[in-house]
Structure 1
Amino acid sequence: MRSTMRTIRPAWLVTVTVIVAAVGWATTELTSRASLALPVLPLSSLITMALIAVVSLVLGLKVRRWRDGNRDKALDPLMAARTVVLAQACAYAGAVLLGWHLGILVDQLPTIAMRADLAVIWQMVALIAGALVMVAVGVIVERFCKVPPEDSEPTAKPRPKHEGRGEEEFA
């Protein structure tokens, strides 16, 4: 049986980032007109972002070690599948956070010269950096979990291609 789980597509990450950046920009325009505070996450969010990235990385390294031949212990397939899902969630969550804070930062760039306090700008830059780390860790950990094609089905015979279709059916 072959898995139908798809890998992260960088184009989707960019699309998510751009769409959420537009939403973040529009939201900031609306909150500014209503004299509300900027909708920026607090710096304490970096702790949560770091925790998610570290857990993803640790689990991914366990899967990678097993994949690369250190098979002293059996690898729980469910844990490996959950690691891939966590890595993908980490990458997409990072893309959302990146887009949101980039949109807000773009909206605020023209007002930087008028600001007496640049703390919120540096806060956004820190959150953007944290989001980039989440995206990178998610993509890297997902790659750790890929099994080389020759190892995926050692006893399975290749299926013949169906004429006229040019693609393989998945069971």
Structure 2
Amino acid sequence: MKAMRPLLLAMIVVVLAAAGWLATIATTRYGMATPVLPPSALVTMGVIAVLTLVMGIRVLRWRNGKKKTLLSPILAARTLILAQACAYAGAVLLGWHVGIVIEQLRIWTLRSDQGILWLALIMGVGGLVMTIVGLVVERFCRIPPEDMEGGTGLQDRRHGEAKGEGEYAYRGD
């Protein structure tokens, strides 16, 4: 499995910021509600981020040798997938709410209720936290090159080439 690219996450944020900005303009123009998530979504975002972090810490403790029991490779793979999904979902939420904030700042003085702006800011921060947690936990799932066979990387037996840093594997101690 390949590592996430921060540039791709940044592009997702930019594209979704434009989409959120356009959606906010359209809803404001037609007198509809601003497309921001409700406050209850913060609870869901928090639970996902905490669960990802807890699972990542389990993998990190095993990787650093602090746990004597063998870690299930399936659990490690699920943790990695959850971390990547958390980062991508966080980037989407961050981008969408950044677009809303940009439009709300433009009409700040015209609105009597600034609650939507603050809610969008908080949701954007929640998306940023999810993205950071996903990236950090993904790093937890990476085995250092010195722990791999021969110290230079895993050998791909089909093609005879070494897989270097950035690859994911599990220790079979």
Q: Which residue of 2 aligns with 1:65?
A: 61
1:153 CA displacement = 3.5
Rounded Cα–Cα distance in structure 2 between residues aligned with 1:120 and 1:6: 38
Matched, 1:122 2:149: no
Deviation at 1:33, TM superposition (A): 1.6
Structure 1 residues 158 and 76: alpha-carbon distance in aligned structure 2, compared to 1, 3 A threshold: closer
Equivalent residue of 2:71, what SS? coil
1:149 aligns with 2:145: yes
Q: How does 1:13-162 map to 2 (within 5 A)?
A: 13-153=9-149, 158=155
What is the number of residues matched between the two proteins? 161
Quote the RMSD (CA, aligned, Å): 2.3
When the two structures are superposed, what TM-score results if normalisation uses the length of structure 1? 0.87
How far is the alpha carbon of 1:150 from its aligned partner? 2.9
User: Residue by residue, what CA displacement relative to the aligned partner does 1:69-115 show, whole Å, maximum 9, x if unpaired?
Assistant: 12311100000011011000000100000000001111121111122
Indicate conservation of the 8 Å contact 2:155/2:161, yes or no: no
5+ residue gaps, structure 2, are 164-173
**Counterpart Cα distance in 2 of 1:122 and 1:42:** 12
Query: Within 2, Cα distance between the matches of 1:141 and 1:129?
Result: 18
